[in-house]
Amino acid sequence: MRKIGIGLNWQGAFSMSDAIEQAKVADDSGVDHLMVAEAWGRDAVTTMAILGYETNRIRIGTAIINVFSRTPGLVAQQFSSLDALTNGRMIIGIGTSGPQVIEDFHGIPFDKPMTRIKEYVEIINMLLAGEPLHYHGRIFNLDRGFTLRHLDELPRKHIPIFIGSFAEKSVRQTAAIADGWLPGHTTRSKWRDEVSTFHQYVRDAGRDPSTIEIKASAGATVTDNPERAYDGIRQQNAFYMARMGDLHYNAYRSFGLGEVADEVRRAWREHGSAAAYAAVPDDVVHALGYAGPVEGAIDWIEEQRDAGYTLHGVSVDERDPKKRAAIFKKLVG
């Protein structure tokens, strides 16, 4: 079976009734996970609570929430409550975001992001395990020995923590402390190298690579209109290159797309979004995602599995729930 997942984007129009219907169809069709994004629009936790209540089996997580606007104690509270609600189906997906969002939306200094990630993971794990919270770090110093008051309601003492990371140092830290990795913006030709490098980082940390999940960043869209879907891939990546700060821009550069990212930024700055979209070449678009028939999507996912990825993002462009369910079942295998 292929571990496929769907996502709820933070951009664009949103209907909760549609989201519930999508989640239920995916849940009934064997889809492994549903990931909810968060930036500066809808919060992820409200949506996850509703979808968790409406589903029975599918794992639900964030991709990602930032580690600045919530304390680790609050994250432990929220996700432990959600884990109780869903009988142990949550994934905590965290990342640093970038200084633009953290400082200019949340009003918090973007300081020591890697240290904050590490301390977040340690504190959340302590609280979920029921350990008294005596913690002394570079950022958090907690002396009162608090424990979560609802530990007896929790279905497990650990919730998997996935980390979104791009730069080498942060990826190495992810390999040492996370249960899963959320890489970003990886082109098809780099898949095998990316996974191989990450597995070596995991071994360097004294861990077993088979215990760490890796979500492929290049998703597959099943559609009768691949041109429209590829336009969506083009627009999304242009937006991340030009408008999501240096974190994502540098990630594209690290995967050999520096010249493209530079041109996209210049085009957006001088001529607007349409020019930026047009600056993303077709071959780059096709390297960052698949769109077309279900058979091609299966081949795409199998190539990712061969490279070592364990989780795979999909989108199904089909309004009819029964037809969508049939496609999901084919993708799962």
pLDDT, tens digit, for every residue of 212-241?
999 999 999 999 999 999 999 999 999 999
Residue 318 falls within a domain, yes or no?
Answer: yes
CATH number for 154: 3.20.20.30
Q: Is the pLDDT of residue 11 over 80?
A: no
Note the pLDDT of residue 192: 98
Query: What is the pLDDT, as a whole number, of residue 57?
Result: 99
CA distances from 320 to 110, 140, 255, 293 (A): 44, 49, 38, 16
CA atoms within 13 A on the CB side of 90: 34
H or E stretch including 23? Answer: helix 16-28
Rg of the chain's alpha carbons, rounded to an integer? Answer: 20
The per-residue pLDDT for 286 is: 98
Residue 266 belongs to a domain = no
Confidence band of 245 (pLDDT split at 50, 70, 90): confident
pLDDT at 69 exceeding the cut of 90 = yes
Q: What integer pLDDT is reported at residue 276 of this predicted model? A: 98
A 10 A CB-CB count for 216 gives 26
Q: What is the pLDDT of residue 13?
A: 82
115 pLDDT more than 90: yes
Residues 7-36 have a mean pLDDT of: 94
Q: What is the largest CA-CA distance in the chain?
A: 58
232 part of a folded domain: no
- Say if 49 falls within a structural domain: yes
- Work out the average pLDDT over 2-30: 94
Please check whether residue 233 lies inside any domain of the structure.
Answer: no
Note the pLDDT of residue 23: 98
Residue 234 maps to a domain: no
Is residue 42 in some structural domain? yes
Domain extent for 151:
4-226+289-332
pLDDT (tens digit per residue) in 154-194? 999 999 999 999 999 999 999 999 999 999 999 999 999 99
Rounded Cα gap, residues 20 and 64, in angstroms: 20
The tokens 């500066």 sit on which residue? 40
Is the pLDDT at 305 greater than 80? The verdict is yes
Query: Over the chain, what is the mean pLDDT?
Result: 97
Say what percent of the chain tops pLDDT 70.
100
State yes or no: pLDDT of 10 exceeds 80. Answer: no
Instruction: Report yes or no: 27 and 324 within 8 Å, Cβ to Cβ.
Output: no
In a domain, 182, yes or no: yes
If you average pLDDT over residues 293-301, what whole number do you get? 99
Domain count, the chain: 1
Taking 80 as the threshold, does the pLDDT of residue 119 lie above it? yes
Model confidence band, residue 327 (pLDDT cutoffs 50, 70, 90): very high
